[in-house]
Amino acid sequence: MCVDAVRESAATGRVVLWEESARDGAQAKTLMTPGFRVELARATGRIFGPDGPRHVVFAAGFPTVCGEEFEAVRRVAREAEGAVSVAAVCRGARRDVEQAVASALAMFPATVPVLQPPHRADGPAGGPVRRGG
């Protein structure tokens, strides 16, 4: 849903920003607070008004760094949804991808089907898995 809007903006030649301030903070081990990340995401989205999600991909963080980082990404996904398109950064490792998906699920209302790999006992601590029907 959000990805399609960003692709549409890019295809028409409009500006699409990939904002990595929160992600870079996590890599430098200077974790930005979840509240600051939410405010940063909202402020960045406000630049484009109601079209923020079409113009800003906000890399909210790297969920596999630590539990605090996972929760920060979840909070940005929940609270900044509608202001920006939220991204969770990860490596190509299966566990990293699973945690990124679990942290970003909060941006989708329960009515939106989300496809993801089956939940395993040692999988991400993101709550129940939702699948499209």
* pLDDT at residue 99 tops 80: yes
Q: Answer whether residue 95 shows pLDDT above 70.
A: yes
Q: Are 84 and 45 in contact (CB under 8 A)?
A: yes
pLDDT top residue among 89 and 118: 89
How far is Cα 132 from Cα 33, in angstroms, rounded to an integer? 33
The C-alpha angle 70, 54, 15, rounded to 5 degrees, equals 110
What dihedral do alpha carbons 106, 99, 91, 47 form, nearest 10°?
20
**Residue 75 neighbours by CB under 8 Å, 6+ apart:** 34, 35, 37, 38, 106
In this prediction, residue 131 carries a pLDDT of 43
Mean of pLDDT values over 6-16: 77
| Percent of the chain predicted with pLDDT > 70 | 69
Collapsing DSSP states into helix, strand and coil, what is residue 32? Answer: coil
> How confident is the model at residue 27, as a pLDDT?
57
Q: State pTM to two decimals.
A: 0.70
